[in-house]
């Protein structure tokens, strides 16, 4: 009999218990043994559930019970999740989690402990909700050198941008709609400012490149400055505005960033709409492989958690391929050294002079148009330029024109 504990009974925790018991017969067949959830840890009181006898409030009950071999951590955040998970691994219990913040900040350390104790730390649900991506990266694509990963990693921001693109909603209206539908939190900062996507690309980059990528080392921009005018100019460009988390090998280092970007309609990412996520993995043998689906939600995320529970319960020893080393962050390139094309929108008194100045700085520019553009407004796409140079040039350009929008143009 495999005995399991679930820590946290919020949206994902309750979904995990629901999926586990709904599909218990097939889960036991896959594990090759009987299985039960012995404990559900939560400080709140629950009554009227079929699992009333399983609720506990003391973490030590789980830690000190030798019958518990697999624990699902779905509390979220770093405190107390980190201390709990570390103690469980050190006690020789496998842990599965949906906690992207925990994995992004402490993944290397926790994977090292799991390896030492010959148990497992699994986190399929931490990126992409129900989309399988972690296991394919370290199992199915293990013959590849992963050169690049790029993705729409946050369903909330993708929903907002879809509303702006397809229905002409302003950002504030689209955000309000997302909140009313339950796609965005009352405080949406983690989503709209890019922090959620940053944690996810850090996990993917760490796994792909073998060294821990910390969120503090990743240049991150959200979508709060994206306007309807920008979206309309992107339509003339021939694409869509998306919040993209991306990571790429650059020699012996890695370039990692989260930012809104113009994505060409030829890209598989440009047509990903609403709350759906998509992750493009570029391997040296496979070429481009795209993983697509709902990136969040109670049951899709719970599905990934339960899948990890099954894997942890049936494994003997540690998964050697799911691992990365600690790092000091020095292998992450300074984003200002990277080169990109840029979209720029200006308000200026002399459009011809602005274009002339822009082309002196960046070479030939591609002029964009939109309906109802004002007489003193101009937008264009630059040639490729370093981030550092572009930032310096924009400071000079701002002396004669008002910069109303600037967004990177990415080739994915």
Active-site residues, by number, are 200
For the chain, how many residues are written?
412
- Residue 281's nearest CA partner among 196, 209, 387 is 209
Question: What are the backbone angles phi and psi of residue 243, rounded to the nearest 5°?
Answer: -85, 120
Measure Cα distances from 130 to 16, 19, 127, 276 in Å: 12, 12, 8, 11
């Amino acid at each position: 009999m495999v005995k399991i504990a679930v820590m946290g009974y919020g949206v994902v925790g309750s979904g995990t218990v629901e999926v586990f018991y709904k599909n218990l017969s097939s889960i036991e067949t896959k594990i090759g043994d009987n299985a039960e959830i012995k404990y559900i840890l939560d400080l709140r009181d629950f009554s009227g559930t079929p699992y009333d006898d399983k609720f506990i409030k003391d973490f030590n009950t789980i830690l000190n019970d030798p019958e518990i071999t697999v624990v699902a951590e779905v509390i979220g955040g770093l405190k107390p999740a980190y201390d709990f998970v570390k103690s469980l691994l050190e006690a020789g219990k496998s842990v599965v989690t949906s906690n992207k913040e925990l994995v992004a900040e402490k993944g290397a350390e926790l994977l090292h402990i799991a390896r030492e104790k010959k148990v497992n730390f699994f986190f399929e649900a931490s990126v992409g909700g129900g989309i399988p991506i972690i296991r394919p990266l370290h199992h199915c694509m293990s013959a590849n050198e992963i050169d690049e990963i790029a993705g729409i990693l946050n369903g909330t921001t993708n929903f907002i941008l879809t509303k702006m693109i397809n229905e002409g909603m302003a950002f504030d209206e689209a955000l309000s709609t997302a909140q009313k539908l339950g796609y965005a939190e009352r405080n949406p900062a983690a989503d709209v400012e890019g922090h959620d996507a940053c944690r996810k690309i850090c996990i993917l980059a760490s796994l792909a490149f073998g060294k821990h990528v910390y969120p503090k080392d990743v240049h991150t921009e959200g979508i709060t400055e994206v306007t309807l005018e920008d979206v309309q100019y992107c339509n003339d460009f021939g694409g869509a505005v998306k919040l993209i988390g991306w990571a790429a090998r650059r020699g012996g280092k890695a370039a990692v960033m989260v930012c809104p970007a113009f994505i060409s309609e030829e890209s598989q990412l440009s047509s990903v709409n609403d709350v759906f996520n998509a992750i493009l993995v570029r391997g040296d043998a496979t070429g481009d492989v795209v993983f697509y689906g709902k990136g969040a939600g109670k049951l899709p995320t719970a599905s990934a958690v339960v899948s990890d529970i099954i894997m942890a319960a049936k494994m003997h020893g540690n998964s050697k391929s799911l691992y990365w080393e600690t790092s000091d962050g020095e292998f992450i390139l300074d984003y200002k050294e990277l080169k990109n094309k840029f979209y720029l929108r200006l308000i200026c008194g002399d459009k011809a002079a602005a274009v002339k100045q822009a082309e002196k700085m960046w070479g030939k520019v591609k002029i964009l148009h939109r309906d109802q553009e004002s007489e003193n407004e101009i937008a264009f796409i630059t040639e490729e330029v370093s981030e550092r140079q572009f930032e310096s040039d924009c400071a000079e350009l701002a002396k004669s024109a008002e910069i109303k929008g600037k967004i990177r143009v990415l080739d994915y």
